[in-house]
Amino acid sequence: MLRRLLLIAPCIASALAVANKSGELFADETWGAGSYTITAPGVYVMEGVTLTISGADIVCDDDADNSWYACFTVRGSLVVKDTFIGKHTSDDRIQADRSGKSAISHASETASEVYLDGVTLRSMSGGISERCCGTGSVTQVVNSVFDDLSTGIGGYTGDSSKSTFSDTVFKYCNLGAGNADHTFTNVTFQNNVVGADMSRGSFTRCKFIDNDTAMKYGAPVDDALFQGNALAIAPGCCGHGFSTLSSATFYDNTLAVKSSAGWNSWTALNFIDNDVNVEYTGSSSSELDCMYWGHDITTASDIRSTITRQVGGGLVTHESYSSAPHCHETFPCEYFDVLGASGVSGQSCQSCSTSGTPSTSCETFDSSSQGSTSIGPTTSGELFADETWGAGSYTITAPGVYVMEGVTLTISGADIVCDDDADNSWYACFTVRGSLVVKDTFIGKHTSDDRIQADRSGKSAISHASETASEVYLDGVTLRSMSGGISERCCGTGSVTQVVNSVFDDLSTGIGGYTGDSSKSTFSDTVFKYCNLGAGSADHRME
């Protein structure tokens, strides 16, 4: 009996042993269920060779040897199903615990292939890296999880049809999907620092949930849900605009869209219960017509209140709106009841055709809703229609008043104070891109006759730094106790500054900036006093 046990014991030990794997494979191999450790220099699947793995638990040795960096380097074919690859870490997912290696380097100059089905890549420096271009290499991932990686998928292929991901989750990554030329279908990006930052490829029926930033840059998106993100869509690098976006819902994000370069062809979008819908800093105009903005937002001024601006000469236009939400697959009508979104539950969606494209009858705004006479002077935000402010007291609050292109703001007999808050994201009471005409008015901060510099407001009175032919006319105006009076921008825009019978009092700089044409910046019968610098820079005419 003892002899029989002694014979059985080595077999049991062999079955439980962890197999170490490394080096080059020059013949096909199949790895079955069991535990494996990849050691230096990693496994190289050579040209013409197929490595097939199923039901395995594969750990990449996390040594300090920097001469190798990937568990698998694929030059032939790697076919993996129902397998774990990476490092077993705690549910806390502490970044310092990640392996310094990547799971799969698919950077061959040959027509190599990687197929993953039901695979988890976890707690490593990278998931899959690809190489450009034109080699015919294929990456195909289904039903898989990219968990706690520095970068889930990165690299360029030159052909997005060769790098496809479906029914897959990217979570707790610094960057889920990066670079370019990947196609995502029914993919969820959740709890990532950045979900996707990709210039080419596409996203179809994807969900972006609880990411710091859901998406950057701008590969085309069709049918998407952006929910609970700190920032849903962020500007990409290099001044590129965002590409096409259709049938998408922004729900419960801190900021839905932040754009510095605009977008092309955005259609059938829902903006529901976001803290801020759009922060637009572009110099050109972009359109958001026929969008759904929520149950209680049905006027132009309502919509403008959800769109903010810091800098830039452009604007977001919205000539029409949808009175009911647009339905789409990642945000079906019944989803409203699940979310319990305010003002949405029980509301019918726009009817959808069999193709999923909303069949929408958009409503144009009442002409009365475009102006602001019914709600009083707009002392913060953008003016898209002419306004007149009469005698009275006004306080300009963040982010200041933006007089937009083609708009004239006329002020007479007013006392205007610029809110002296500590918010450094705005700096001027009035930013003029259209026309500002002011007569017999005070603009600034009321301070004592001692004129103590520390009491000055940190804001400027008028920023006349538009790229358009804007105009500022001041007559009998006092600008007092602020950082600046008027700032101008060079050159050749045709902008005009004309000041008569006015006083620049207790300012850091009275008039500054360059125009390129002194005949366009004129000052007559005017006093500059108690300023650090009365008139600075160049191209002003004083009479």
pLDDT digit string, tens, across residues 349-391: 554 333 333 344 566 655 333 332 222 355 777 787 788 888 8
User: Where does residue 296 rank: exposed (0-12), middle (13-18), buried (19+ CB within 10 A)?
Assistant: exposed
Separate counts of helices (H) and strands (E) for the chain: 4, 46
pLDDT at 421: 74
**How many angstroms separate the first and last alpha carbons of the chain?**
118
pLDDT at 286: 79
What average pLDDT does this structure show over 159-174?
94
Specify the DSSP element, H or E, that contains 338.
helix 335-339
Residue carrying structure tokens 């989803």: 335
Residue 6 in 3-state DSSP? Answer: helix
Residue 197 CA to residue 530 CA, distance in Å, equals 51
Specify the DSSP element, H or E, that contains 370.
helix 367-370
Buried/exposed 300-337: b ≥16 CB within 10 Å, e otherwise: bbebbebbbbebbbbbbebeebbebbbbbebbebebbe
Q: What are phi and psi of 176, to 5 degrees?
A: -70, -60
> Is the separation of the CB atoms in 426 and 457 below 8 Å?
no
pLDDT digit string, tens, across residues 328-354: 888 876 555 545 544 444 445 554 333
Residue 56 CA to residue 35 CA, distance in Å, equals 6
pLDDT digit string, tens, across residues 408-431: 999 999 999 987 777 776 788 998
DSSP 240: P
What average pLDDT does this structure show over 493-510?
90
pLDDT digit string, tens, across residues 129-146: 987 666 778 999 999 999
> Is the separation of the CB atoms in 219 and 200 below 8 Å?
yes
What average pLDDT does this structure show over 425-443?
89
Q: Which two tokens stand for residue 383?
A: 């003016």
CA separation (Å) from 164 to 203, 246, 317, 405? 10, 20, 36, 45
pLDDT at 71: 95
Residue 484 CA to residue 239 CA, distance in Å, equals 30
pLDDT at 319: 74
Count of residues in the chain: 543
CA separation (Å) from 512 to 185, 272, 419, 487, 539? 54, 43, 22, 5, 9
Q: What angle do CA 402, 317, 236 make, to 5 degrees?
A: 85
> Is the separation of the CB atoms in 288 and 377 below 8 Å?
no
DSSP 15: H
Residue 407 CA to residue 471 CA, distance in Å, equals 10
pLDDT at 239: 55
What average pLDDT does this structure show over 527-541?
89
Whether the predicted pLDDT of 481 surpasses 60: yes
CA separation (Å) from 483 to 430, 461, 471, 505? 13, 8, 21, 11
Specify the DSSP element, H or E, that contains 429.
strand 428-432
Strand partners, 207: 188, 225
pTM of the full structure: 0.69
pLDDT at 293: 87
Whether the predicted pLDDT of 36 surpasses 80: yes
Q: Which two tokens stand for residue 282?
A: 């572009």
Domain boundaries, the chain: 22-198, 212-370, 373-542
Whether the predicted pLDDT of 4 surpasses 50: no
Q: Where are the alpha helices (DSSP H) in 373-455?
A: none
Whether the predicted pLDDT of 22 surpasses 80: yes
Residue 401 CA to residue 4 CA, distance in Å, equals 91
pLDDT digit string, tens, across residues 97-133: 898 999 999 866 777 899 999 999 999 999 999 876 6
Q: What angle do CA 237, 244, 261 make, to 5 degrees?
A: 35
Structure-model confidence comparison of residues 291 and 31, the more confident one: 31
Which residues neighbour 489 within 8 Å (Cβ) at sequence distance 6 or greater? 464, 465, 466, 467, 495, 513, 514, 515
DSSP 301: H
Identity of the residue numbered 35 = S
Tell me the CATH number of domain 373-542, given options 3.80.10, 1.10.700, 2.60.40, 2.160.20.
Answer: 2.160.20
Q: Do the strands 194-198 and 221-227 form a parallel or antiparallel pair, or are they unpaired? A: unpaired
Structure-model confidence comparison of residues 534 and 420, the more confident one: 534
Buried/exposed 45-63: b ≥16 CB within 10 Å, e otherwise: bbeebbbebeebbbbbbbe
pLDDT digit string, tens, across residues 273-318: 999 898 887 767 778 888 888 877 777 777 777 777 655 556 677 7
Specify the DSSP element, H or E, that contains 3.
helix 2-16
Distance of CA 437 to the CA centre of its chain: 36
pLDDT digit string, tens, across residues 199-254: 888 999 999 999 999 998 678 899 999 999 999 998 866 555 677 899 999 999 99
| Whole-number average pLDDT of the chain | 82
> Is the separation of the CB atoms in 301 and 369 below 8 Å?
yes
